[in-house]
Amino acid sequence: MTTKPKKKKKGFSPKVKKEAMRLIFEEKRPMKEVATKFRCSVNSIQAWKKQFKVNESGESTPKKVVRPKVPQVKATTPITYEEFVRNYWSNGSNAVDALLLPPEIGPEVVRCVNEALRFAYDRFSK
């Protein structure tokens, strides 16, 4: 069985989209009328409209893509392993959860958590 090559979706050029937005924003034409003129759907016009904005002079221009700002991590003074462990256990819920464990497994859980803290400290403090 042979497969037919898929046709590439043609789409509309940015020039056509800009003209459509000009008609909507500047000439206040209805979307249905603009869609009919350019032989596209009203949904396409609505999608294009979301991609454009109107500036003060009334001209439509493409919206600029706003990239989210990545928070900058400030360098902090390094802390010792003991401070790191103390910070973890000083969170009330962590310590309370460990204290509420049955006495036969509580110390073992605390030991395992401290080992995990040591691994994390060694791994990420470099």
* pLDDT tens digits, one per residue of 9-64: 678 888 888 899 889 888 999 999 999 998 999 998 888 888 876 544 555 556 56
> Is residue 72 pLDDT above 60, yes or no?
yes
Please state the domain count of the chain.
2
Q: What is the largest CA-CA distance in the chain?
A: 80
Q: Give the count of alpha carbons within 13 A of 51, CB side only.
A: 12
Same domain membership, residue 86 and residue 56: no
Decide if 3 is inside a domain: no
Same domain membership, residue 91 and residue 55: no
Same domain membership, residue 85 and residue 54: no
Mean pLDDT estimate for the chain: 78
The more confident residue out of 89 and 54 is 89
Decide if 71 is inside a domain: no
Element (H, E) at 35: helix 31-38
> Is residue 124 pLDDT above 50, yes or no?
yes
Same domain membership, residue 86 and residue 119: yes
Q: How far from the centroid of its chain's Cα atoms is residue 18's Cα?
A: 28
> Is residue 122 pLDDT above 80, yes or no?
yes
The more confident residue out of 124 and 35 is 35
The more confident residue out of 4 and 48 is 48
Decide if 23 is inside a domain: yes
Range of the domain at 105: 81-124
Least Cα distance to 48 among 60, 36, 65, 66 occurs for 60
Q: Determine contact, residues 117/84, Cβ cutoff 8 Å.
A: yes
Decide if 72 is inside a domain: no
Decide if 6 is inside a domain: no
Task: Give the chain's radius of gyration (CA, Å).
Answer: 31
> Is residue 126 pLDDT above 80, yes or no?
no
Same domain membership, residue 85 and residue 114: yes
In this prediction the pTM is 0.39
When mean pLDDT is compared across 26-40, 78-92, 101-115, the lowest value belongs to 78-92
Same domain membership, residue 51 and residue 22: yes
Decide if 104 is inside a domain: yes
Least Cα distance to 61 among 16, 30, 22 occurs for 22
The more confident residue out of 91 and 54 is 91
Neighbouring residues of 9: CB distance < 8 A, sequence distance ≥ 6:
none
Q: What are phi and psi of 19, to 5 degrees?
A: -65, -40
